[in-house]
Amino acid sequence: MVNASLQPSGALLRPDPAFFPVGGTLEGYRKALATQGPNLVSSVVIALGTVVVSLVIAAPASYALAQLKVRGGTVLVFVLLIVQLIPGIVMANALYTVFGNLGLIDSYAGLVLADATATIPFAVLLLRAFMISVPRELTEASRVDGAGYWRTFFSIILPVSRNALVTAGLFAFLFAWADFLFAVTLTTGQSFEPITVGIYRFVGNQSADWNGIMATAVLAAIPAAVLLVVAQRYVVAGLTSGAVKD
Amino acid sequence: MTLAAPVPRRGPRRDGRFTAWAFLLPAVAYVVVFFGYPLAANVVTSTQDYTVKSFYTGEAPFVGLANYAAVLANPLFSTAVLNTVLFTAGSLVFQFGIGLALAVFFAGRFPGGALLRSLLLLPWLLPLVVSGAVWRWMFDQDHGVLNAASRLIGVGAVPWLSSTAWALPAVILTNIWIGIPFNLVILHGGLRAIPASLHEAAALDGAGAWQRFRHVTWPLLRPVTGIVLMLGLVYTIKVFDVIMVVTGGGPANATQTLTTWSYRLSFHDFAFGQGAAVGNVLILAATAFGLLYLRSAKATLAEAAA
C-alpha cells in the first residue's frame, strides 16, 4: 500500500533520467533556466509580496479579534469563514472586471492583492486561533505596566505568536507560489509571467518538449521540497489547524 | 497594585474601542474592497451583456436573467454539472478511502514511519500546475509511464487524454493523488486523539483488528471524518488548476466542469456575463455545502466541549 502510494512521487522524482540520458537532462535545465528564469523571479516577488501583505493585514486583526473584545468581531470571523468557500474562478472573474477598470491587470500589485484574498482569511483564522490561547495575564500585565495596545501588540503578542506567524506566512508563500488561477486570468503575459503560467504555456504548446517541461517543473517544485524538509512542523500545524479549529 | 489596576483600566477601555477598531480596520477594509465589491460587481455583471467591448466603452446593456437562461439552455450546462458531480464524488471516495487506510497504517509506530509520512506530504505541497504537468506526461499515450507499464503487463495502450471515455477518469486519478495527503494528515491527527487504552481493552475482550477498527476507531473518528469529507467537498467542487493543466476541459468537453466552463466562457469566449452567471451558480453550490460544513463543525465542537 505504501509502496503504491509512493510510486507516483517516486516516478515524479526521476522523470528525466528514465527517458533521457544525463547530458540531455542538464540541457533541459539550461533551457528551463533560460526561458523560465525571469518567471521564477516574478513568482518569488509575488509570493513574498503576498506574505507581507497578508501578515501586515492579518496580524493586527487577529490580535483585535482574539484579545480585544470588539463588537462585530464574530461577524467578521464568520464572514472570513464564508469567503473561503467562494470558488477561486468566481473571484478571478469578479476581480478581472474590477482590475480592468483600475488598470491592475498585468501588474505585480494586482496579483499580490488577488492572492491575498485567498491567504488573508486563512491567516486571520489561524492567527486568531493561536492568539486566543495567549494568556490574558500576559497582556494585562503589560497594560498595567503602562503599555498601550500598540506596545502590547508589538512587544508581547507578535514575539509570542512567532510560530503561528511563520505558519501563516509559509502558507501564504506556498499559495501565491503555486497560484495558477489568478496568474492565468489576471495577466496577459505581455509584461511578466509567473512560473505556473510559464509551465502551463510550455505544456500547452503541443510540440511537447517533456524534458524542458520536467526540468521547469522540478525548479518550480524546489520551494515545496525545501519547505517539506525545513518547516514540516509548521506545514502540518497549518494543515490541521486550518481544518479542525474554528 | 490593587488600587492602581482599576484606574488605567477605565482609561484605555474608552479610547481603546477606537484602537481596537484601528487594528481591525485593514482587514475589514480588505474584505469590503476585495470581496464585497467584486462579488457585488459579479452579480451585476451576470445580468449584463458584458463583452470585451464593455471594457473600452464602459457600456454593458442590462439583460436581466438572459445570461442565466442562456447558460441553462446550453447543452454544456448538464455536461459540466454531471462532470463536476462525478469528479467530486470520485475524488472524495478514493482520497478518503486511501487516506484513511494510510492513516491507520501510520498510526502504528515503526521505524521510518515519520519519514514516509512526510514524503507523502509532497503531492500536497507541490504547485498543482507542476503535478498536473507531470501527470499529463505520465498519461502521454506513446511515451507516458502509465502506458509503458500497461504494455509491460500485456494490456494495450490506453488513450488516457485523447479519448472522451478515459479523460475524466484520468483527471480524477490525478486529483485523488493530490488529495490523499490532506486526508491522511487530518485523519492521522484524529486517530492519535483516540486513547490507546480503548484499543487495548477491546483487544483483551478478544476483538480482532477489523472489529477494533469497526467498533472502536470508526465511531470515535466520525466527527473528524465529517469535517474531512465536508472540506474535501468544498475544495473539490472548485478545483480548476488540475483539470486545466491536464486536459484543459477537453477532449470535446469530456472533462469540462463548472469551474473550467466558467473560465472558458469569460476568458475564452469573452462572454463575461455568462461566465459570471456560472460562477454565481457555483457560489450557491459551494456555500450550501459550506454551511453544512459549518453546522457539522459546530456540532463537533459542541461534542468536544461536552
The rounded distance, in Å, linking the Cα atoms of B44 and B48 is 7
Nearest neighbour of B136 by CB, restricted to A5, A11, A203: A203
Least confident of A41-45, A58-62, B59-63, B81-85: B59-63
Beta-carbon separation of B240 and A181 below 8 A: yes
Find which of B54, B125, B161, B231 to mutate to test the A interface (most A CBs within 10 Å of its CB).
B125
Residue A66 · residue A131 · CB < 8 Å: yes
Beta-carbon separation of A94 and B42 below 8 A: yes
Which residues from A are below 8 Å from B242, CB to CB?
none
Q: What separation in angstroms does the CA of B250 have from each of A86, A94, B160, B257, B264?
A: 25, 25, 12, 10, 11
Nearest neighbour of A76 by CB, restricted to B28, B39, B101: B28
Determine what percent of chain B is predicted with pLDDT higher than 70.
79
Which residues from B are below 8 Å from A116, CB to CB?
30, 34
Q: Which residues contact B3 (CB under 8 A, 6 or more apart)?
A: none
Asked if B185 reaches chain A (Cβ–Cβ under 8 Å), the answer is: yes
Determine what percent of chain A is predicted with pLDDT higher than 90.
4
Beta-carbon separation of B116 and A6 below 8 A: yes
Q: What is the mean pLDDT of chain B?
A: 78
Q: Which of residues 222-251 of B touch A (CB under 8 A)?
A: 224, 227-228, 231, 234, 237-238, 240-241, 244-245, 248
Beta-carbon separation of A86 and B228 below 8 A: no
The rounded distance, in Å, linking the Cα atoms of B237 and B234 is 6
Q: Taking CB atoms and an 8 Å cut-off, how many pairs form between chains A and B?
A: 258
Identify the pLDDT of residue A82.
79
Least confident of A166-180, B148-162, B246-260: B148-162
Measured from the Cβ of residue B173, the count of other Cβ atoms closer than 10 Å reads 21
**Cis before B251 (ω within 30):** yes
Which residues from A are below 8 Å from B290, CB to CB?
81-82, 85
Least confident of A153-167, B116-130, B196-210, B263-277: B116-130
Nearest Cα to Cα of residue B149 among A217, A203, A5, A7: A7
For B225, nearest residue in chain A (alpha carbons): A244
CA distance A108 to chain B (A): 16
> DSSP secondary-structure letter at B194?
S
The rounded distance, in Å, linking the Cα atoms of A126 and A118 is 13
Backbone angles phi, psi at B173, to 5 degrees: -55, -45
Find which of A57, A97, A101, A119 to mutate to test the B interface (most B CBs within 10 Å of its CB).
A97
pLDDT band at A32 (very low <50, low <70, confident <90, very high): low
Whether the pLDDT of residue A133 is over 90: the answer is no
In this prediction the ipTM stands at 0.75
Q: Which of A168-177, A187-196, B91-100, B166-175 has the highest mean pLDDT?
A: B91-100
* Helix-then-strand count for chain B, H and E: 16, 0
Beta-carbon separation of A149 and B234 below 8 A: no
Q: What is the mean pLDDT of chain A?
A: 76
Identify the pLDDT of residue A1.
30
What number is the average pLDDT over the span A108-114?
89
Nearest Cα to Cα of residue B136 among B230, B213, B247, B221: B247
The rounded distance, in Å, linking the Cα atoms of B232 and B110 is 29
Whether the pLDDT of residue A233 is over 90: the answer is no
Characterize B142-170 residue by residue with b for buried, 16 or more Cβ atoms within 10 angstroms of its Cβ, and e for exposed. Answer: eebbbbeeeeeeeeeebbbbeeeebbbbb
Whether the pLDDT of residue B8 is over 80: the answer is no
Identify the three-state secondary structure at position B253.
coil
Q: Which of residues 95-154 of B touch A (CB under 8 A)?
A: 98, 101-102, 105, 116, 118-131, 133-134, 136-138, 140, 143, 145
Beta-carbon separation of A180 and B127 below 8 A: yes
Residue B41 · residue A98 · CB < 8 Å: yes
* Grid cell digits, residue B260: 473550467
pLDDT band at A55 (very low <50, low <70, confident <90, very high): very high
pLDDT band at A135 (very low <50, low <70, confident <90, very high): confident
Beta-carbon separation of B137 and A15 below 8 A: yes
pLDDT band at B141 (very low <50, low <70, confident <90, very high): low
Beta-carbon separation of B23 and A153 below 8 A: yes
Q: Which of residues 57-96 of B touch A (CB under 8 A)?
A: none
Beta-carbon separation of A11 and B145 below 8 A: yes
Which residues from B are below 8 Å from A77, CB to CB?
none
Find which of A85, A234, A245 to mutate to test the B interface (most B CBs within 10 Å of its CB).
A85
Determine what percent of chain B is predicted with pLDDT higher than 90.
4
Residue B272 · residue B50 · CB < 8 Å: yes
The rounded distance, in Å, linking the Cα atoms of B215 and B149 is 40
Beta-carbon separation of B240 and A89 below 8 A: yes
The rounded distance, in Å, linking the Cα atoms of B134 and B218 is 35
> CA A25, A31, A34, A38 torsion: positive or negative?
negative
Whether the pLDDT of residue A52 is over 90: the answer is yes
Nearest neighbour of A64 by CB, restricted to B23, B133, B138: B23
pLDDT band at A241 (very low <50, low <70, confident <90, very high): low
What number is the average pLDDT over the span A48-70?
88
Whether the pLDDT of residue B107 is over 80: the answer is no
Identify the pLDDT of residue B93.
92
pLDDT band at A20 (very low <50, low <70, confident <90, very high): very low
Nearest Cα to Cα of residue A187 among A95, A79, A71, A70: A95
Find which of A89, A158, A167 to mutate to test the B interface (most B CBs within 10 Å of its CB).
A89
State the DSSP H helix or E strand holding residue A116, giving kind and residue range, or none if neither. helix A108-132
Nearest Cα to Cα of residue B20 among A76, A12, A79, A14: A76
Beta-carbon separation of B26 and A56 below 8 A: yes
pLDDT band at A67 (very low <50, low <70, confident <90, very high): confident
Identify the pLDDT of residue B182.
84
Which residues from A are below 8 Å from B182, CB to CB?
239, 243
Least confident of A110-124, A175-189, B157-171, B209-223: B157-171
Whether the pLDDT of residue B192 is over 70: the answer is yes
Nearest Cα to Cα of residue B276 among A96, A195, A109, A11: A96
Residue B139 · residue B252 · CB < 8 Å: no
Identify the pLDDT of residue B184.
86
Which residues from A are below 8 Å from B245, CB to CB?
180, 199-200, 203
Identify the pLDDT of residue A28.
62
What number is the average pLDDT over the span A16-29?
46
Nearest neighbour of B287 by CB, restricted to A85, A150, A244: A85
What number is the average pLDDT over the span A108-133?
87
Look up the pTM and report it: 0.79
Whether the pLDDT of residue B14 is over 60: the answer is no
CA distance B252 to chain A (A): 16
Beta-carbon separation of A199 and B133 below 8 A: yes
